[in-house]
C-alpha cells in the first residue's frame, strides 16, 4: 500500500523511517498543509492508501504563550484539510498523532484515561495548541461516524529523541540537553530551568512511538489510545537523569520560580495500550537520553 507520512522531516517522521522505509515522507518544503490547493495537489500526486499525519506546529511554553493564534490557526487548518482530503480520496487508513496537551488541565483522578478527554479545558500554557489538537480527535470521530471510516488517533506523552529540534524553540528534553552541552563546553558549573522543578511528566523516546504506529498498521489496531510509559517523574528527577546521561553530574541546576511551571501533571493511563500491544518495552529514560546525546555529539549537531 502507498503510505503518505506528513511531517516526514520531523522527529517522529525520521524515527519512522526505520520501520516504514518505503513510505513517502513529505515536509513543508514539499507541500504547505495550510493551503487547500497544495493539499489537493499532494493527494493527487501521491495517491496514498494510508496516511500517517505527523505534521504540526509545535514549540515550547514561551512560544505557545506568545503566539497562541499561530498555534491554533496552523494546526486547525492542517488537520482539517488533511483529514478532509483523506476521506475525499478514499484513504483506507488514517492515523493522526495528537499530544497529551489535549487533556484537561486538572482532573479528579490520575492517570488520565481516554474517555476523560472532554472533561475540562487544556492547560493555559498551551491552551490554543491543546484545543487545536483536541479538535483533530473530534474530527476523526465525526468522520468515522458520518463516513464509516476507520480513522484513528494516538495520544503520545512528551517525546524526545535524536531528531528533535535543537534550536531556540525546542521541546523540554532537547532544550535541556543543549543547555547541559553548552555549560560543559564553556566550563560552566550551573544551568537554569523554568519553574520550580515540581511538575510531573512521562517522557518517551520517539522511536517507541514509531514502533507503536507500525504495530498498529501491521496488526489492524484501530483504537484511539494513549501512548506513554508507566514512569511519571518530576522535572527535577528527569533533569538529574539527564545530567548523568550527559556525563555532567558536576553541573548544578537552578530553578527560576518567576518563570512558568506549565501544567503540574498530565500523566495518562496506558492500560488500553498494554491490552493491545503486549510486547511493548519502552526505551529506558537514562539510556534514551544517553543514546540521544551521543548521537548529537557524533554528528556535530550541538
Catalytic residues: 129
The values of phi and psi at residue 204, to 5°, are -130, 140
Helices vs strands, H then E, count in the chain = 10, 12
The values of phi and psi at residue 80, to 5°, are -60, -45
Orientation angle between helical segments 285-298 and 235-245, nearest 10 degrees: 50
C-alpha cell at 84: 478532509
Check whether the bond before 181 is cis (ω within 30° of 0). Answer: no
C-alpha pair distances (Å), 149 with each of 164, 251, 280: 32, 52, 27
C-alpha cell at 201: 511528566
Lookup result for grid cell 488520565: 112
- Give the three-state DSSP class for 43: helix
C-alpha 153/C-alpha 179 separation (Å) is 33
C-alpha 8/C-alpha 203 separation (Å) is 21
Find the length of the chain. Answer: 302
Amino acid at each position: 500500500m502507498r503510505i503518505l507520512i506528513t511531517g516526514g522531516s520531523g522527529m517522529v517522521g525520521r524515527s519512522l523511517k526505520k520501520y516504514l522505509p518505503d513510505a513517502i515522507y513529505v515536509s513543508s518544503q514539499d507541500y504547505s498543509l495550510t493551503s487547500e490547493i497544495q493539499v489537493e495537489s499532494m493527494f493527487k500526486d501521491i495517491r496514498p492508501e494510508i496516511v500517517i499525519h505527523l505534521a504540526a506546529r509545535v514549540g515550547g511554553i514561551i512560544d505557545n504563550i506568545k503566539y497562541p493564534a499561530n498555534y491554533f490557526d496552523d494546526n486547525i487548518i492542517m488537520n482539517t484539510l488533511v483529514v478532509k482530503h483523506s476521506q475525499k480520496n478514499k484513504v483506507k487508513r488514517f492515523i493522526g498523532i495528537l499530544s497529551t496537551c489535549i487533556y484537561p488541565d486538572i482532573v479528579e483522578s490520575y492517570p488520565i484515561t481516554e474517555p476523560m478527554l472532554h472533561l475540562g479545558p487544556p492547560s493555559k500554557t498551551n491552551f490554543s495548541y491543546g484545543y487545536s489538537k483536541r479538535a483533530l480527535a473530534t474530527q476523526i470521530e465525526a468522520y468515522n461516524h458520518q463516513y464509516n471510516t476507520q480513522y484513528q488517533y494516538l495520544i503520545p506523552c512528551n517525546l524526545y529523541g535524536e531528531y528533535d529540534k535543537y534550536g531556540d524553540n525546542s521541546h523540554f528534553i532537547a532544550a535541556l540537553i543543549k543547555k547541559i552541552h553548552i555549560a560543559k563546553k564553556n566550563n560552566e558549573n550551573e544551568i537554569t530551568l523554568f519553574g520550580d522543578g515540581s511538575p510531573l511528566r512521562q517522557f518517551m523516546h520517539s522511536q517507541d512511538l514509531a514502533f507503536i504506529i507500525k504495530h498498529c498498521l501491521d496488526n489492524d489496531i484501530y483504537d484511539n489510545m494513549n501512548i506513554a510509559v508507566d514512569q511519571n517523574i518530576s522535572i527535577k528527577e528527569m533533569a538529574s537523569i539527564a545530567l548523568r546521561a550527559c556525563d555532567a553530574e558536576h553541573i548544578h541546576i537552578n530553578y527560576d520560580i518567576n518563570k512558568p511551571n506549565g501544567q503540574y501533571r498530565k500523566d495518562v493511563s496506558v492500560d488500553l495500550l498494554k491490552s493491545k500491544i503486549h510486547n511493548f518495552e519502552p526505551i529506558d529514560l537514562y539510556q534514551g537520553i544517553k543514546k540521544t546525546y551521543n548521537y548529537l555529539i557524533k554528528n556535530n549537531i550541538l
